[in-house]
Copies of this chain bind each other. A is one copy, B any other.
Amino acid sequence: MGSNFNIHFFGTSSAVPTKERGLSCLTITYENSMAFFDCGEGSQRSVLGAGLGFNKDCNIFITHLHGDHVIGLLGILQTMAMNRREKQVGVFGPEGIIDFIRTNQSILRFGLTFDVMAREVKPGLVYDEENSRYRVFAQKSKHSALSFAYVFEEKEKPGRFHPEKALKLGIPEGPLWSKIQHGESVKSPKTGKVVDPKQIMEKPRKGKRIGISGDTRPTSLLEQFFKGCDVLIFDSTYSDEHQENALENLHSTSREAAMLAKKARAKNLILTHFSARYRRVSNLVRQAREVFPNTIAAKDFLVYDVADTS
C-alpha cells in the first residue's frame, strides 16, 4: 500500500451477498483513523480478515436504514466492546439510526465499554472536529428509504517545504524550520532579515474529496454535491440492459453513474453495489467507460490508494 490514506472495499453486492461479494461496506483509513460508510451484515469479519482491527479512531456513516447497509453495525459495536475499547465511536445516519442501536442494545442486552455518539444527520456538514484530519458532509440522495450521500473531505494540508530555499535565505535546519512549517515568520540568523513562510513554502494543498453515493438514482443535487471529487464511489447496481430495474428500484446503472461523474467533473469513478445477477461486471465497466474513461469497478478487499490519486 505505502500510503496512509486508503479506501478499503469490504462489500460490493446489492441487497443479497454472493460467494464473491459481501453486503455494502467500505472504510476510509486516514492516518490513525477509520471512517466506515455503511456496515452490511458480515462487515466485522471482512475488516478482521483484512487485518485492519478496530482500535483506531472511528466514525461510522450510514447512508440509509435498509438491513443490507446497517445490520453489521451491531456486530462491529459488540466486537469493539469485547475488545474493551474505550474511545468513543461516532455513528451518523438518517432518522431511526439511534432507535436502531438503542432498541437492539435493549433486546440483545449488550453493554458497551465506550460511548456511542449517535446522530441523525441533515444535509450539510455532519462531522468536523478540531483535531480530526477530515470532515464529512451529507446530502439527500434518492432511494426508496430516507437516504444520504456523503463526501469525505481531507482537510487542507500545508504546502511543500523547500529546504534549499531555506538554506539560501540563511536559515539552518532545526527549530526555525519547524516554525516556518507552522506558518510563522522568522528572522534569518545569517542575514538578519525577516523571512516569510511564503518565501520557502508552497501554498497549502487542497485536501482530497471522496464522494460516496449510497443507493440512489442520479440527481442534479448529487451532481452539485460531488462537484470536483477526486474519487466518486457511485451506485452501479445495473447494466444498460436493466435500465428499467434501475428506475423501478431507485438505483443507477453504471452508465448513469458515469454520466453523473462526468457532469460533476469528478476525477475518478469507482462503481459498486452490483446486482447479484452479474457474476462478472466487465460489461458494466465497459458501458461506464464509454462516457467516463477513468472508471474502475470495486471488488471486495480492493484497497484504493487515495494519496496516489491524480
Contacts and interface: CB of A to CB of B under 8 A. Distances in A.
A71 B108 CA distance: 9
Contacts of A109: 65-66, 145
Nearest to A14: B82
Interface stretch (A73-81, A159-167, A215-223): A73-81
B99 A66 contact: no
Interface residues of A, number: 35
A108 B78 contact: no
A67 B108 contact: yes
B108 A65 contact: yes
Contacts of A71: 41, 71, 74-75, 108
A149 to B, nearest CB: 20
Interface stretch (A15-23, A200-208, A257-265): A15-23
Q: How many copies does the complex hold?
A: 2
Contact of A107 (B41, B44, B49, B96): B96
A1 interface: no
A90 to B, nearest CB: 20
Interface string A55-94: 0000000000111101110110011001000000000000
Given A82-B16, A110-B67, A45 B42 contact: yes
Residue among A16, A74, A82 having the largest count of chain B Cβ atoms under 10 Å: A16
B78 A19 contact: no
A278 interface: no
A103 B105 CA distance: 12
Contacts of A104: 67, 100, 103-104
Contacts of A72: 41
A299 to B, nearest CB: 16
